[in-house]
């Protein structure tokens, strides 16, 4: 799929088919995340691939939406706090690094014909407990991964003239 077509095609998918994700597709999607740039190339991330069937009951304590658990897989992008690059004023670029890698992953999934949805509104304490994450690891964003059962309309975006200022 052509690059700009992928950008346009990506939607938040909140309904999934009961169909597994092929392993070769999953590998290419994870590889797209691996190739993402990061501040000072620290790559402060780990991606936990969760088979929803295995962990669904327990994980509902962390994010209780029926549609989320229809997808065969969920990916949790975790940030490694101690490995992230920090600027001289102490600002950590962990969230930025994770967002870039996750966007690679999500756009690759779109190019493979798969659906995703960025999820931030989960309970991070429960996710940490259930996945057994160390203190250094922060679950930053989740996405379900599976074949879409809907094709949502594009959502509103502000026009360029509202968001771009040229000097
Ligand atoms: C960082 C981030 C966090 C989000 N968290 C959630 C969430 O917790 N639950 C949800 O249903 N959608 C979530 N979304 C999806 C947004 O609502 C969605 O991207 C936005 O409404 C635009 O729609 P579109 O993705 O279909 O273009 C999140 C998106 C981003 C980028």
Kindly list the domain boundaries of the chain, sorted by start residue. 3-150
Q: H-helix or E-strand containing 107? A: helix 94-111
3-state secondary structure of 14: coil
Q: Give the pLDDT of residue 57.
A: 85
8 A C-beta contact, residue 129 and residue 137: no
CA distance 118 to 106: 8
**pTM score over 0.95:** yes
HSE on the CB side for 41, CA within 13 Å?
A: 1
3-state secondary structure of 37: coil
pLDDT tens column, 81-107: 999 999 999 999 999 999 999 999 999
Return the percentage of the chain with pLDDT > 90, whole number: 93
pLDDT tens column, 14-60: 999 999 999 999 999 999 999 999 999 999 999 999 999 888 889 88
Q: Could you tell which of 95, 107, 119, 153 is best to mutate to test the pocket of ligand 1, judged by most ligand atoms within 8 Å of the CB?
A: 119
Q: Give the pLDDT of residue 102.
A: 98
Query: Going by CA atoms, what residue is nearest to atom 21 of ligand 1?
Result: 155
Q: Is the domain defined by 3-150 classed in CATH 3.40.50.11740?
A: no
Residue 35 DSSP one-character state: T
Q: Could you tell which of 7, 12, 68, 99 is best to mutate to test the pocket of ligand 1, judged by most ligand atoms within 8 Å of the CB?
A: 12
Q: How far is CA 6 from CA 3, 24, 108, 162, in A?
A: 5, 19, 8, 24
CA distance 34 to 92: 20
What mean pLDDT is reported for the chain?
A: 97
């Amino acid at each position: 799929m052509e690059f700009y077509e992928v950008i346009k095609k990506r939607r938040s998918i909140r309904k999934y088919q009961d169909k597994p994700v092929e392993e070769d597709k999953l590998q290419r999607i994870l590889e797209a995340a691996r190739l993402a740039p990061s501040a000072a190339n620290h790559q402060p991330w780990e991606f936990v691939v969760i088979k929803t069937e295995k962990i669904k009951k327990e994980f509902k304590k962390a994010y209780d939406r029926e549609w989320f658990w229809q997808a065969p897989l969920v990916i949790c992008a975790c940030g490694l706090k101690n490995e992230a690059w920090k600027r001289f004023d102490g600002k950590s670029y962990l969230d930025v690094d994770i967002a870039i890698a996750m966007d690679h992953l999500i756009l690759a999934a779109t190019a493979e014909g798969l659906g995703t949805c960025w999820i931030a509104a989960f309970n991070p304490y429960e996710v940490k407990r259930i996945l057994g994450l160390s203190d250094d690891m922060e679950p930053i964003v989740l996405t379900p991964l599976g074949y879409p059962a809907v094709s949502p309309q594009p959502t509103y975006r502000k026009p360029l003239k509202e968001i771009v200022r040229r000097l």
